[in-house]
Chain A
């Protein structure tokens, strides 16, 4: 056990916190070494492959099921989503064009009063060094 010193009084709570931090650092380091190995990469690759295989099989099965029930599949919904996005983009472009035309028709004086003056100078010499 550490002897209490006049500079650093004995504090069991601080010691506990220090121990937890030390454990974190050591555990991270050990686990990182393990995760940096080729075996781990191989394991991760296999686990990902298995998970994707399972997901593909479920997607396939679900697709067939939905088709049998005459319901839209994910692809059908995605296709609809893409068409909707196309409409959204067109609307955004139209709104944008209109806004720009409105801005152009607004007087320059009106615009400048809304924005701060761009005359600020740095307190230090140019280059900031």
Chain B
């Protein structure tokens, strides 16, 4: 009887696989003959533009909101629409529905002439200016700043140097501080072999392909595996849709401002000044102990881009009394977007922010 049941089961599995193989063929043709879906983000309006920088305010979705608005700050490496991929997979939409006023800084793709921009420009000029604009627009003197990855570094640098700017709460997602913990990146950028000056002097901005390849090299086989997974799941519309949305974002890299890259390699990667001290921006010494506002750091357990060895030190370095670190399952991207984020990070974030946003 058991043998019959097992044979039936195998029969069902084989039949399912045959059906899926047929579907894969049909959907595969469709996949390769159509473009990736365009990002249908939440409605928003641009408040301020400066060079490639754009500050947006999203249209509220509820009639009653918390007093303190939220400002999202993205990394310099990627486009910010990871915060707003598509309805249902949008942190922005979630925050709007939970009653927050949401603003976002889009750094844009740096132009050739932007290769001169340095960390000081971002942390001590652009962010304060955007915060001022948010305050002016919202009519509130304070704001909750949420920074992702390098956006978290910029937010932390700003909060450490300009506490008077009105940051009420600071939230960092997957923010690397101890660059000794980024072992592979650190090895590839070994000062004995890597001539960052020549690279920046020759290229100006660091091309997006270089960034993408570096990221891929952290998990060299995973891109092939993800393509196998895609083929395996080609019959599944939901999987394919999600794959295309994320793949489009991951492939949509932007150049990295050259001087900023030079600074990042020398000051952060080589000298690890952010974690070990000695960093100066615009002549001002940076001490993360000067961050005294309520602070939350959300870390992903399986983050291979900003591993926990690089991120976990931040909570000890900030001077806030009200501070918390949350380690959630997931990787660098699934921490902020996708089913994992929807289930884990977003509710935690809301829970932490709501009591601090009145």
Contacts and interface: CB of A to CB of B under 8 A. Distances in A.
Contacts of B38: none
A9 B67 contact: no
B232 A17 contact: yes
Prevailing SS type, chain A contact patch: helix
A117 B50 contact: no
A52 B198 contact: yes
Interface string A14-34: 000100110110011001100
Contacts of A59: 202
Given A96-B48, A120-B66, A38 B356 contact: no
A127 B358 CA distance: 10
Interface string B24-54: 0000000000000000000000001111000
B226 to A, nearest CB: 9
A122 B98 CA distance: 10
A20 B225 contact: yes
A117 B51 contact: no
A56 B353 contact: no
Contacts of A92: 49-50
B51 A89 contact: yes
A38 B113 contact: no
Nearest to A121: B358
Contacts of A67: none
Contacts of A27: 220-221
Contact of B64 (A11, A117, A126, A127): A117
A78 B198 CA distance: 20
B202 A56 contact: yes
A88 B136 CA distance: 23
Nearest to B115: A78
Interface residues of A, number: 56
B284 interface: no
A49 B355 contact: no
Given A9-B6, A81-B112, A96-B48, A128 B193 contact: no
Interface in A87-102: 88-89, 92, 96, 100
Interface string A101-121: 000000000000001111111
Given A120-B66, A128-B352, 17 more contacts: A9-B10, A24-B222, A27-B221, A44-B188, A45-B194, A49-B195, A52-B199, A81-B112, A85-B51, A89-B51, A92-B49, A118-B64, A119-B64, A120-B65, A122-B355, A123-B354, A127-B355
Closest 8 A-B residue pairs measured CB to CB?
Answer: A45-B193, A128-B355, A122-B354, A24-B225, A27-B221, A41-B190, A118-B67, A82-B113
22 contacts: A9-B6, A12-B13, A13-B17, A32-B184, A32-B218, A32-B220, A35-B217, A40-B187, A41-B188, A44-B193, A45-B192, A48-B195, A85-B113, A92-B50, A100-B136, A116-B62, A116-B101, A119-B64, A126-B358, A128-B352, A128-B355, A128-B356
